[in-house]
Chain A
Amino acid sequence: MRIEWWILLAVYAVATGILFFTPKNKIRLAVVAFLFKQIITFLIGLVVVQLGLLEYPIRFFSSVSRTSFTYEYYAFPVICAAFNVWYPNDRSRLIQIGYYVGYASVLTMAEVVIEKYTDLIKYIHWEWYISWISICLSFYLTRSFCVWFFAKGRV
């Protein structure tokens, strides 16, 4: 089996592992973050492939979808769920920004390494900083949705 398939399987395993660390009283927050993230990644992921900006040569469900099901349906939403569950809400603005930068940077670095050394993803008209910015933006949108969803005044 090619190394790429092992990586995909490892991604499923690690993402599922991350889910198990969710505290019981935050499971619903994790669910909302996960689901909301999905509708962002689903649409944007398809659009960038349609426009030919990115390519995922090796993927699951390859005959019906040219995007990465693993990343967009599962891995990225799981990370977003973790992002929201562990969000440093009571800390200073600086730490909160650092939290965003940290998540986005680690994800972007992982993506760049995967792009460079495997056939899981190929940048065509794409740069690492577009990934970085879009990751930050999608985290921010999801965070805002979660804050609204669980807000006290339920209007």
Chain B
Amino acid sequence: MEHLILLAMWLFGFIAFLLFIPRKEWRKGLLAFLMSQAVIWLCDMPSFKYGLLSAPVRELPKATDLPLTINYFFYPVLFAIYYVRYQPKSSLWYRFTYFFVWATGTTLFDIMLERYTDLLEYQLLTWYGMWIYIGFLNYVSQACCNWFYKDEALFQTDGRPS
């Protein structure tokens, strides 16, 4: 059962990335993916170490206590879609709602995993703790991506490997 869910996450992750991120935005999507992955990895290390949550069923049980699919692939894909579809010039109210809805959606998914499967198990963490945690992860990733794209003009010329 758990393995099927993991497989489904890979499958739907790929499909969602291709479906919801237009071809010309792939660079942006991949950057958001990489950024989110780095943030999640860094933050989950201490979270798992200090027993906030655990992952009883996981992909590489001997090598790591962290869940690979969720951390490495699925949540970063969700964030990439979030970031590419985000409209920075819209009203404050819209941006807040958008952020709120994504964080809540991800948290709901996380809570379902916790509740009905052995993929995740909250230890010290509560559902609202997870909600704050995911909001925090998304916020940090977004801030880093915004910094990366802060000066679009500069970006066009400076980074090219030459």
| A residues with CB within 8 A of B | 25-29, 31-32, 35-36, 38-39, 42-43, 46-47, 49-50, 52, 61, 63-67, 69, 73, 84, 87, 89-90, 143, 146-147, 149-152, 154-155
Contact = CB atoms under 8 A, between A and B. Distances in A.
B159 A39 contact: no
Given A29-B159, A73-B42, A64 B66 contact: yes
Contact of B35 (A29, A35, A65, A154): A35
Contacts of B138: none
A39 B34 contact: yes
Given A28-B148, A38-B37, A155-B23, A65 B162 contact: no
A89 B162 contact: yes
5 contacts: A28-B155, A42-B41, A46-B68, A64-B64, A146-B161
A84 B63 contact: no
Give the secondary structure class of B's interface.
helix
B38, B148, B159, most chain A CB atoms within 10 A: B159
Given A28-B159, A43-B68, A49-B60, 14 more contacts: A27-B159, A28-B148, A29-B159, A32-B31, A32-B34, A35-B37, A46-B64, A50-B60, A50-B63, A64-B65, A65-B64, A67-B64, A151-B160, A154-B24
Contact of A36 (B34, B62, B160): B34
B98 interface: no
A25 B45 contact: no
A84 B62 CA distance: 33
A25 to B, nearest CB: 4
Contacts of B60: 46-47, 49-50
A87 B46 CA distance: 35
B102 interface: no
B3 interface: no
A49 B61 CA distance: 10
A31 B155 CA distance: 12
Contacts of B68: 43, 46
A29 B161 contact: yes
A23 to B, nearest CB: 9
Contacts of B72: 39, 42-43
Contacts of B35: 35
Interface string B21-57: 0011001001100110110011001101100000000
B124 to A, nearest CB: 15
